[in-house]
């Protein structure tokens, strides 16, 4: 009993000093802790940004070309020479697919990405939406033009965003709209011309691309991380690929759709 008391009194001052030391080191240690809380900060370092690029290939039976009849609307038909082919599945000369929307579906750090101040353009030319597939960020302006001598009625059919439809006079004033919710994809139709269709992807970040005539895509400026990429095609559905990138990595992710 005496021994234990002696031990406590003997070590108490040291223990107290230790507690004080810990307290002061904790106070001093709060700064590194704050840095730890900002862990995604290195991800914002432009020097650490990674790139994922690739192509979207197609194999199997090439879908038959489907002709669109604009005969009932001479103002539209007159602007085309020969048959108008629907662009719902466009296989490029190099065996890749056009109009595939590729984007980061999951894995990004909880950060806010500012929408670009430049609008994304959606044109109506010869009674066709052009481009057929586009992406834009939440809050970014979508500028819709009517280059035709005929009236159109732009009508997006969203599930998560607000639906609207606005008629646009021949070569009329541009329609400028934004979407405030993430949605992949929103189908656009025209209430006047049933063959007109476009697809618009709305994302809270800038990591998306649409394949063109070489079927390739590139997602630049990615923070290091583990990502799920999705490729969306209006007829062939969706595919996912998981890709991990370290700082400054340039990785390849190729999608392969079959029909
Ligand atoms: Cu139209």
Note whether residue 125 is domain-resident: yes
For residue 177, give the CATH number of its domain: 2.60.40.420
- Domain that residue 8 falls in: 2-37
Distance from the alpha carbon of residue 193 to the mean position of ligand 1, in angstroms: 4
Ligand 1: centre distance to CA 168 (Å): 9
Quote the ligand 1 centre to 165 CA distance (angstroms): 12
* 21 lies in the same domain as 146: no
**214 shares a domain with 108:** yes
Asked if residue 30 and residue 58 are part of one domain, the reply reads no
Strand partners, 190: 154
Task: Scan for tokens 């009674």, then name that residue.
Answer: 127
84 Cα to the center of ligand 1, angstroms: 15
Ligand 1 centroid to residue 90 C-alpha, Å: 21
Give me the CATH number covering residue 227: 2.60.40.1120
- The C-alpha atoms of residue 239 and residue 72 are separated, in whole angstroms, by 38
What separation in angstroms does the CA of 243 have from each of 99, 209, 219, 224, 250? 22, 16, 12, 10, 11
Q: Please report whether residue 169 resides in a domain.
A: yes
pLDDT of residue 250: 97
The reply to whether 228 and 240 lie within a common domain is yes
| pLDDT number for residue 2 | 42
Q: What is the 10 CA–ligand 1 centroid distance (Å)? A: 91
Distance 153 CA to ligand 1 centre (A): 6
pTM exceeds 0.75:
yes
Single out the residue in 185, 204, 223 at which a domain terminates: 204
Instruction: Please tell me the predicted confidence (pLDDT) of residue 21.
Output: 40
Distance 129 CA to ligand 1 centre (A): 8
69 CA distance to ligand 1 middle (Å): 13
Among 204, 225, 249, the domain boundary falls at 204
Mean pLDDT by 10 residues, the chain (259 residues): 43 41 39 45 73 98 91 92 93 97 97 96 97 98 96 98 97 96 98 97 98 98 97 98 97 97
Q: 52-86: string of b/e by CB count within 10 Å (b at 16+)?
A: bbbbbbbeeeeeeeeebebeeeeebeebeeeebee
Q: Does 214 share its domain with 165?
A: no
**With b meaning 16 or more CB within 10 Å and e meaning fewer, what string describes 206-237?**
bbbbbbeeebbbebeebbbbebebbbbbbebe
């Amino acid at each position: 009993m005496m021994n234990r008391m002696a031990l406590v009194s003997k070590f108490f001052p040291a223990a107290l000093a230790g507690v004080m030391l810990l307290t002061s080191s904790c106070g001093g240690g709060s700064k590194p802790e704050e840095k730890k809380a900002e862990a995604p900060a290195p991800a914002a370092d432009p020097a650490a940004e990674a790139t994922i690029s690739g192509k979207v290939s197609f194999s199997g039976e090439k879908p038959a070309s489907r002709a669109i009849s604009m005969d009932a609307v001479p103002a539209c038909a007159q602007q085309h020479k020969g048959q108008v082919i629907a662009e719902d599945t466009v296989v490029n000369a190099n065996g890749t697919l056009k109009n595939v929307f590729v984007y980061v579906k999951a894995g990004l750090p909880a950060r806010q990405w500012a929408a670009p101040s430049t609008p994304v353009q959606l044109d109506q030319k010869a009674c066709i939406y052009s481009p057929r597939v586009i992406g834009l960020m939440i809050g970014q302006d979508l500028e819709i033009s009517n280059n035709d001598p005929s009236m159109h009625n732009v009508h997006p059919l969203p599930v998560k965003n607000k639906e609207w439809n606005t008629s646009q006079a021949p070569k009329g004033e541009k329609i400028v709209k934004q979407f405030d919710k993430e949605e992949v994809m929103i189908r656009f139709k025209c209430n006047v011309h049933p063959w007109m269709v476009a697809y618009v992807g709305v994302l809270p970040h800038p990591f998306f691309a649409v394949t063109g005539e070489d079927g390739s895509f590139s997602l630049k400026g990615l923070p290091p991380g583990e990502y799920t990429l999705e490729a969306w095609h209006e007829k062939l559905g969706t595919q996912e690929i998981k890709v991990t990138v370290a700082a400054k990595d340039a990785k390849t992710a190729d999608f392969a759709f079959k029909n």
